Amino acid sequence: MSLIDENSVWNRLGPSIQDSPELLEERSFGVRELYDLFRRRLRFIVTIVIAGTALALVAALTLPKTYTASSMIVVETGDANPLDTTQAPTNSQPDKSRMDTEQDLITSRVFAGRVVDRLDLIEDSDFNTYLPPTRDNSPAVLPQVAGWIVWVPKKVFALVTGGGAPTPLPPRSVQLDRAITSYLASLSLTRTGDSAAMTISFVNDDAVKAANVANATARLFVEWSHDNKQLEIKDAVAFLRTQSTEIGSRIAAIEGQIAKYANEHGVSSDPRDDLLRASIEQANGQLSTARGEYTQAQARLAQVKLAAKNGDTGANVDPLLSSDFLTTLRNDEAAAMRDRAQLAGNYGRNHPLVQEADAKIAAVHAMISQEMLRTIAILENEVRVDEGRVEQLAKSLQASNDELHQRSLAEAKLREMNNDLTAEQKLNDLVSGKLGSLDPFSDAVEPGVRTVSAAEIPTSPTFPKLRLMLAGGFAASLVLAFILVVTLESMDVRVRDPRRVAKQIRAPLLASIPQLPQKFLRRALPPLETLLSQPRSAFSDAFRSLYGGCTRMNGGRGKHVILVSSGLPQEGKTTTAMGLAMAAGMDGALTALIDLDLRTRSLHGAMRLGSASKTLNDYLNGDCALAEIVQTLPEIPQLDVLAPSADDRTSPEFLNSGQLAKVLEAFRLEYDVVIIDAPPVLVVEDAIGIAASVDTVVVVAASDSTTQEALSQVVERLRFAGGPSIGWVLNRVDPFQQARGALRKAYLRRQQIRRYFPV
């Protein structure tokens, strides 16, 4: 099955099935480019992945095995403080703070020291690294190698420094600290969510030892919790007993103080304070009444005095003025006044009867005045009596209030003392109740932690796990391969994209030559046999495209000298020159193929030519004609080849002499197309000197081998040397790599194209 150079075919299939240049310029790194990248680097990726997986397998088989044993404990609910009087709900879970505390206790160095002492881990070299290691008969290679690597320098250093004597062990406290550190490094605790269960895991290279240490850790922690709880309760009982004694003493002292104070101040809890307050209320009522009577008496006295002053003796002034005596006097006074008025009207004012009547009126009036004075004296006496009564009641009330105030102070002090006594009695009852609940059970204490699952001896190691390490090694090596591929690709500047390179070097791509056709599990035919036996293959057709491109670059002129070179060796310049010459000869042009790479002279072997009758050296010496130094290919009569063999003594210095121009001019006169296989440009300067005598220069670049920098340097050097028009050829193109579009589309397109190139 022949491989097809699609890139050379696209030039003839037309723009209808090609990607437009705009799309090619805008195409970024996508899935197709990623696929091409991985396909190009497939061997590298597979090698890295296989190597990484193999290393993981070796590590899994040689690394020392470690085993993990797990036991489980449960933290019980309950009162963690014996002196706490609150009752927790029976179904409540331990809170997070308590679980964290339990975890901290298990991983504390105090408890770790208890485990180390009970298990005597200080005598185990796995934990006490100051001890010499025990002999390990395990087949693990890496630990033994590592041990030797560490042991040999130590031994040499000891011999050199004279320190071969065994190093004394440090103090036991230092060894114990090292054993505790090693024990804690292998211990781990896990808990799921808010669960009260806690898993204790221990890792060791000995499965039995791992299970024993895990079980011992759980068992010793339960014992330690029991001891701590028992000690805690004993301390609480002792404290409660001390407090009970002190509280009893305080209660007795307070009761004595209460009795003494009540006796000294005459106060107690009797209701006498109520009788005192009742008498005070009664005295207040009497004082108010007395004050009213006193005020009323003062008012009557003032009214009577005012009436006496004004001479008003009417009964409406005061009830005292309406007595029978005053009433009689008032009647006598009224009768006398009537009699006088009558006498005065009959006899006149100076009549003796009138004067007698006036005297009688005056006598009555005097008697009324005396009676008024007596009444005022009575009222004044009443006022004085009422005033004295008010003063007496006020003094009595003030004394009662003072007594009540003093009693209130004493009662307040007494109540305070009673309150203290009540508080002490309640505290005594609480302490007695708590002491009664703890003391009988001080020897039967629940630890609050119990073991629910013992660790079994593990049968399979936790490290290394073969499947996990293989999967990890495969994944890691795959990631590493991807990183390396991307890194190499970013650093790789080899020619792959012909359009980008053509734009960079500003030279047209004349043709893309595919790889030699190769059948499955068979070596590819040599280029000459392929060109002769498969003239219609994609490989042969690429050289016809190259010949057509060179003809167009020459402008269609009759004579055409073409120089074929490359930047470095092994890039396909000789094959390209040979294929181009055969394409020109098959096209009917009289063609000459000249090998001027006189340092390697590889064209003679590639063309499988025999020895010529004359050599190039003979022609340069003038010993023969031009036709005598060339050989004709039997299959292509139009093609003559000048390929100096190893017997030809022509020196490479011939290329830098004036004879070269004469030889090329002779070939130009005899042949239509002259093709020169020149040395690499970047190796020697021969091609630069030949370029000045040719019409077209074809630079060959190997796909996925030649770098863009080398190709650009070749073109620049040829241009600087004043060479003619330059084109370039991309050799060894992988047609599958050049396929564009989706995979199915590319596959169908290749199937259609194969019909034009029969096998």
Task: Identify residue 724 by its one-letter amino acid code.
Answer: P
The secondary structure of 105-133, three-state, reads HHCCHHHHHHHHHHHCHHHCCCCCCCCCC
Q: What is the mean pLDDT of residues 113-126?
A: 90
Say if residue 102 is in the same domain as residue 208: yes
Say if residue 56 is in the same domain as residue 126: no
Is the distance from CB of 599 to CB of 684 less than 8 angstroms?
A: yes
| Range of weakest confidence among 158-162, 282-286, 600-604, 649-653 | 158-162
Task: Identify residue 384 by its one-letter amino acid code.
Answer: R
Total of domains in the chain: 4
Say if residue 307 is in the same domain as residue 354: yes
Is the distance from CB of 313 to CB of 372 less than 8 angstroms?
A: yes
Say if residue 419 is in the same domain as residue 532: no
How many Å apart are CA 340 and CA 332, to the nearest integer? Answer: 12
- Asked whether the predicted pLDDT for residue 91 surpasses 80, the reply is no
Share of the chain above pLDDT 90, in %: 17
CA proximity to 344, closest of 330, 352, 312: 352
In a domain, 518, yes or no: yes
Say if residue 527 is in the same domain as residue 664: yes
How many Å apart are CA 663 and CA 99, to the nearest integer? Answer: 101
Per-residue pLDDT reduced to its tens digit, 381-423 = 888 888 888 888 888 888 878 777 777 777 777 778 788 878 8
The b-or-e profile of 182-217 (16+ CB within 10 A means b, else e) is bbbebbeeebeeeebebbbbbbbbebebbbbbbbbb
How many Å apart are CA 221 and CA 215, to the nearest integer? Answer: 10
Global confidence as pTM: 0.49
Residue 266 confidence (pLDDT): 66
Average pLDDT taken over every residue of the chain: 79
Residue 579 confidence (pLDDT): 92
- Asked whether the predicted pLDDT for residue 83 surpasses 60, the reply is no
Q: Which range among 25-34, 273-282, 589-598 has the greatest average pLDDT?
A: 589-598
Domain endpoint, select from 214, 235, 256: 235
- Asked whether the predicted pLDDT for residue 577 surpasses 90, the reply is yes
The DSSP symbol for 143 reads: H
Q: What is the mean pLDDT of residues 103-119?
A: 91
In a domain, 567, yes or no: yes
Q: What CATH number is associated with residue 712?
A: 3.40.50.300
In a domain, 28, yes or no: no
In a domain, 339, yes or no: yes
Q: What is the mean pLDDT of residues 82-104?
A: 68
Q: Which range among 8-22, 76-90, 707-721 has the greatest average pLDDT?
A: 707-721
Say if residue 637 is in the same domain as residue 738: yes
Q: Cα angle at 665 between 557 and 609, to 5 degrees?
A: 95
Residue 71 confidence (pLDDT): 92
In a domain, 102, yes or no: yes
Say if residue 613 is in the same domain as residue 695: yes
Say if residue 353 is in the same domain as residue 217: no
Say if residue 418 is in the same domain as residue 548: no
CA proximity to 501, closest of 361, 341, 704: 704
Say if residue 339 is in the same domain as residue 217: no
Length of the chain: 759
Beta strands in 145-273 (DSSP E): 187-190, 197-204
In this predicted model, which residue has the larger pLDDT, 20 or 258?
258
Per-residue pLDDT reduced to its tens digit, 534-545 = 888 888 888 999
CA proximity to 85, closest of 211, 249, 236: 236
| Range of weakest confidence among 352-356, 588-592, 620-624 | 352-356
In a domain, 46, yes or no: yes
Say if residue 511 is in the same domain as residue 576: yes
- Asked whether the predicted pLDDT for residue 457 surpasses 70, the reply is yes
Q: What is the mean pLDDT of residues 454-476?
A: 88
Domain that holds residue 481: 41-63+465-492
How many Å apart are CA 225 and CA 456, to the nearest integer? Answer: 23
In a domain, 516, yes or no: yes
Say if residue 78 is in the same domain as residue 51: no
